[in-house]
Structures are given as C-alpha cells and as structure tokens.
Amino acid sequence: MSGLKYPERAMQATKPKSSLPPELWDDSAWVAVEGGRWLYRDHITLGEGRSMLRMQAILNADPRSHRTRRISVQDNMPVSCSSAKGRSCSGALNYILRRRAAQMLSADASSCLPWAESALQPADSISRLFEHELLEGLPRAAEAGPAH
C-alpha cells in the first residue's frame, strides 16, 4: 500500500513545458529593443516584473500601440501567474501588478503574459549582456543613416 495509483510503473520527474506554438521561438522573428543586466540585486521575481513594466512603458510611449493586445513571454512563473490572476501574496509584486494595471489602463491596451521555459525565451541571452556588449551589437548613428 504505497499510495500510488499505479505502483508497478516507474516514477518519473516531470518538468514544466510551454504549450505555446514552436513558430513563436524563431529568433529571426524577434527584434531586441532594449537589454542588459539589472542595476541592483534583489529577488529574481521583482526584477522580471520590473523588466515587464519597462517593456510596457516603451510600448505605451508610441501612440500607435494604444488600444492593442500584447503578448509578453515570461520565463518567471510567479510573474506570469500573478499577472493572469491580477494579484499576488507578495506586497512588492502586488505593487508591480498595480503599476502594470495603470499602464494598461492609460493606453487602453491589454496584455497576456504566458510562461515559457528559459531555454526557449528569445530575450534570455540579451538580458545577460553587459552594457558594453549591448553597445557593440547596436548600429552606430553614422552607420544607421539619417534619421527620418
């Protein structure tokens, strides 16, 4: 009497797996807008939440992105799940969620934050670069041509 439903089967560890379509992970479909490391150390969930807020702020700065639906793939399950629920038991994460709600309301936009494994996350490598590495990868103003 082990309590297992099928004691004759070998136990296997399960790993969470994203159910998003594989076409979403094509690196050529993504463009880096901003990246780099966080300025100070704190809990990973708060850093991920702040980066999500930053992305929303960048989008909200362009009036063409107002009244839109957005998808922001998250590799942090607490941020993804608490955003779907609209609240968290963490006071600090609740503060971030309130700011997210205010940003979405001000732009009359909605967003979905599905979870995906870090290995699939297109922005994961960009978030690990130092500032000088980011600048090396961006085109210089003279090379980019005249601004329009």
Q: What is the pTM of this model?
A: 0.71
Q: 130 is written with which tokens?
A: 């130092």
> Quick check: 72 pLDDT over 90?
no
More confident residue, 4 or 63: 63
Average pLDDT over the chain reads 81
What H or E segment, with its residue span, contains residue 78? helix 77-85
Judge whether 69 and 97 are in contact, CB under 8 Å. no
More confident residue, 115 or 145: 115
Place of tokens 């050529």: 28
Q: Report the candidate in 87, 82, 79 with the shortest Cα–Cα distance to residue 48.
A: 79
Bridge partners of 110, per DSSP, are 69
pLDDT tens string 15-49: 777 788 888 777 777 777 777 777 778 888 998 89
pLDDT at residue number 42: 84
Calculate ∠ Cα 116-137-141, nearest 5°. 130
Q: Report the candidate in 91, 94, 54 with the shortest Cα–Cα distance to residue 72.
A: 54
Alpha-carbon distances, residue 52 vs 2, 39, 84, 96, 121 (angstroms): 45, 15, 13, 9, 14
What H or E segment, with its residue span, contains residue 125? helix 124-127
Q: 94 is written with which tokens?
A: 């609740």
